[in-house]
Chains A and B, each alone.
Chain A
């Protein structure tokens, strides 16, 4: 079951983290690009804003796929190396951006369940301090006309067309 109502998500989130969480995590622009029908993997991207006064770390992402990991890509002399990372630090007061060419949520084992334009992919972010936060990745088009390299326009796209923003979570 891939679709969960935002209402349910918010309720679960509230219940899951409660009042003891000290960091305040806001998640925005959770998006994933549509994939080919036979794609084996997909990438998820988001902005994480820690508005609290204690540091936090994103330590895991869970979703209904055979394997989901936090990855980063490093470049050395033009060679891209994608790798699994144990966590992404989200210092107090800072915004961390998972965007193409860097940190991403790697959804693996998609075979037969591609990311289709408009889909909402439920996932749970696990933070060291804030605990579990349920979010939805909205599947957006990879618009070649805008180019692949322009991070700014990509962010605007995500912002302008992204209904998933309504699910911004505040703890």
Chain B
């Protein structure tokens, strides 16, 4: 069983060099089945919040947080994954664990602060929607090693290819693990609770 994560921002490089793979049978796996020890994922970013204010990672990751990169023009996969993350947060809340959820737009051209704010409210009243300048979004995406690429074509109705991992981040210790699309709310809640117990 292998898990794959995209490590670069161009398809050519991603295809050739950028995949980080590891074997989950390693004994170092602490919680769940997709953990990777010592991965340099995450770190500082500066983005724009739903109110239009500039925020940094320490402003928005104040508790264990699920971080997802997507775009609001996507009516299918992004809402599905966001609703799944919200569902995991609700499950964890039922168990007494307070976690955050963040949606970072990789389509800053169309996704204004208000649009990401409205979009995230659809899934969870506390989900934080972030956008920014093209440079800010690109830097955040690189920090998290996510991939996105705007498709050629229509200036108004273009589509964007993008990574679909959800990252579990902690305020002090940073990256804990990531989840794939196939993970259920229950699996995410269980693994997250395990990390909360370990990391605190």
Contacts and interface: CB of A to CB of B under 8 A. Distances in A.
A36 to B, nearest CB: 4
A48 to B, nearest CB: 17
Interface stretch (B36-44, B55-63, B113-121, B190-198): B113-121
Given A75-B181, A79-B6, A80-B162, A36 B87 contact: no
Contacts of A101: 76-77, 80, 181
B103 to A, nearest CB: 12
Interface string B1-35: 00011100000001000010000000000000000
B47 to A, nearest CB: 19
A43 B75 contact: yes
B84 interface: yes
Contacts, number: 128
Interface string A74-116: 0101111111000000000000000011001011110000000
Interface stretch (A2-10, A127-135, A139-147): A139-147
B67 interface: no
Contacts of B124: 144
A41 interface: yes
Contacts of A148: 79-84, 87, 185
A36 B114 CA distance: 11
Interface string A34-65: 11111111110000000000000000000000
Given A36-B118, A39-B118, A39-B119, A149 B184 contact: yes
Contacts of A79: 6, 147, 161-164
B73 interface: yes
Contacts of A34: 122
A71 interface: yes
Chain A residues touching B, range: 35 or more
> B79, B183, B185 — which one has the most chain A CB atoms within 10 A of its CB?
B79
A78 B90 contact: no
7 contacts: A36-B119, A43-B79, A78-B5, A147-B84, A148-B87, A149-B80, A149-B181
B130 interface: no
B153 to A, nearest CB: 9
B46 to A, nearest CB: 24
B79 to A, nearest CB: 6
Given A36-B115, A106-B75, A148-B80, A80 B157 contact: no
B94 to A, nearest CB: 10
A39 to B, nearest CB: 7
B90 A40 contact: no
Interface residues of B, number: 46
A160 interface: no
Given A77-B19, A108-B157, A144 B80 contact: no
A83 B151 CA distance: 9
A37 B118 contact: yes
B184 A80 contact: no
A107 B151 CA distance: 18
The 4 closest A-B pairs by CB, nearest first: A43-B75, A148-B83, A148-B84, A36-B118
Contacts of B73: 40-41, 108
Given A40-B110, A77-B19, A145 B119 contact: no
B121 A78 contact: no
B79 A33 contact: yes
A161 interface: no
Nearest to A115: B75
A156 interface: no
